[in-house]
Amino acid sequence: MQAEPIDGAAAIGQSGGPTAVINQSLVGVIEGLRGFKNITKIYGMRHGVAGLTRGELVDLTDISQEKLDLVARTPSAALGSTRDKPDEDYCARIVEACREHDIRYYFYIGGNDSSDACRIVNEIAANSGYELRCFHVPKTVDNDLMENDHTPGYPSAARFVATAFMADGRDNASLPGIKINVVMGRHAGFLTAASVLARRDENDGPHLIYLPEVPFEMDRFVEDVDRVFSKVGRCQIAVSEGIQDESGEAIGAKLISAADRDAHGNVQLSGSGALGDQLASLLKAKLTPAGGKPPRVRADTFGYLQRCWPDASPIDAQEARGSGRHAAHLAARGDRDGSVAIKRIEGPDGEYHCEFKRVELSAVAAKTRLMPREFIGGHNDVTQAFVAYARPLVGELPEFGRL
């Protein structure tokens, strides 16, 4: 049931880990709102809900298209982001701040924690009799939102990971050894899986891919590496920062001393090289032949560059913009709330298309989507179904020559 439009301001916030295209979504919402005459003002929240509750708003109503286009191409959250996870009390202050600034349209760009906060704000506003329309715009490099074929931010991060594995694979072939690359993704292995797109020839890496969805066994890992290294003379390995043991405990968390926890209770896995370094030490110790030299083992942790590298996938840039616009259109057509989701449509010749649809906030809020079973290939690989899924998203990858 559509509601009558209500006059008032709109506020847009960005939350959680930034991406290469989160500003595309911001600009998409602004563009979408411009044709909507009930909007009296467009505010940006400085550092999401943290800034909103302190009244830190920036007026985006009259910003030029030229400036918008430049901001859209800029990685990371131009408004600033936040890791705050609002509880009921915090959400009440959010609603209060909206009331104070006559904000009637609330847009929040973020992941599953953000959509949950959006859902709570929506409820509190409704219960307190303040009419506030709440919309969530998807964003996460982890690609772990329910209802979405994939999420804005993921294709660009996947593009970085695939490119990095291609380049690092040539480096590894040039100076052969065992190379571990640790990839972001706390619970979902989609980003680590994207490393597979680096494979071109039979002997190309990644030779082994370890996802958080498959319990990680140390002995089996050593055996896997030993087998590949003996056969190929080198071994390039993709490891998710979120790999877990049989009991569900993150291997990285065990290894990171003085582990940070953020406001969501999540252990800090990014911004540390501990997991890669520990796995490298282990391999060196286990694979040194009796009386012989240890193999050359190196570990890189790709870190924050994965989520902000300024070479977005063109499809991702377009879809992030589109999902922001779609959220504004939902508001304009009289929806009271909702989250935008991306649905994939195959064209008549199997080519890739997508469309946006509205889903309930509660369908996305605080839930985590993992790699589906058909994408997982045994305990150390992904399937061709995953390759077919991921390839159209990342855009054109560089072509390499060999001798």
Which C-beta is closer to a copy of itself: that of 278 or that of 362?
278
Residue 373 per-residue DSSP state? G
Which C-beta is closer to a copy of itself: that of 72 or that of 330?
72
Q: How far is the CB of 211 from a copy of itself (least distance, A)?
A: 21
| Phi, psi (rounded to 5 degrees) for 40 | -90, -30
Q: How far is the CB of 15 from a copy of itself (least distance, A)?
A: 10
Which C-beta is closer to a copy of itself: that of 82 or that of 339?
82
Which C-beta is closer to a copy of itself: that of 258 or that of 290?
258
Q: How far is the CB of 16 from a copy of itself (least distance, A)?
A: 9
Per-residue CA distances from 65 to 34, 37, 304 (Å):
11, 18, 29
Which is catalytic among the residues 84, 116, 142, 337? 142
Q: How far is the CB of 78 from a copy of itself (least distance, A)?
A: 5
Q: How far is the CB of 363 from a copy of itself (least distance, A)?
A: 27
Which C-beta is closer to a copy of itself: that of 276 or that of 377?
276
Handedness of CA 79, 85, 138, 373 (dihedral sign): positive
Q: How far is the CB of 121 from a copy of itself (least distance, A)?
A: 21
Residue 340, token pair as written in the block: 């935008």
121: Cβ contacts below 8 Å, ≥ 6 apart: 86, 91, 94, 95, 106, 132, 134
Q: How far is the CB of 59 from a copy of itself (least distance, A)?
A: 10
Q: At what angle do helices 112-127 and 88-100 cross, to 10 degrees?
A: 70
Q: What is the DSSP track for 139-155?
A: --TT---TT-SS-TTHH
Residue 140, token pair as written in the block: 């996460």
396: Cβ contacts below 8 Å, ≥ 6 apart: none
Other beta carbons within 10 Å of 31: 16
Q: What is the DSSP track for 154-184?
A: HHHHHHHHHHHHHHHHHHHHHS-SEEEEEE-
Is residue 154 within 8 Å of 140, Cβ to Cβ? Answer: yes
Which C-beta is closer to a copy of itself: that of 311 or that of 374?
311
Which C-beta is closer to a copy of itself: that of 164 or that of 251?
164
In which element (H, E) is residue 236 found? Answer: strand 235-240
User: Any catalytic annotation for residue 142?
Assistant: yes
What gap in Å lies between CA 49 and CA 20, rounded to an integer?
A: 21
| Phi, psi (rounded to 5 degrees) for 355 | -135, 165
Is residue 13 within 8 Å of 42, Cβ to Cβ? Answer: no
Could you list the active site residues? Answer: 142
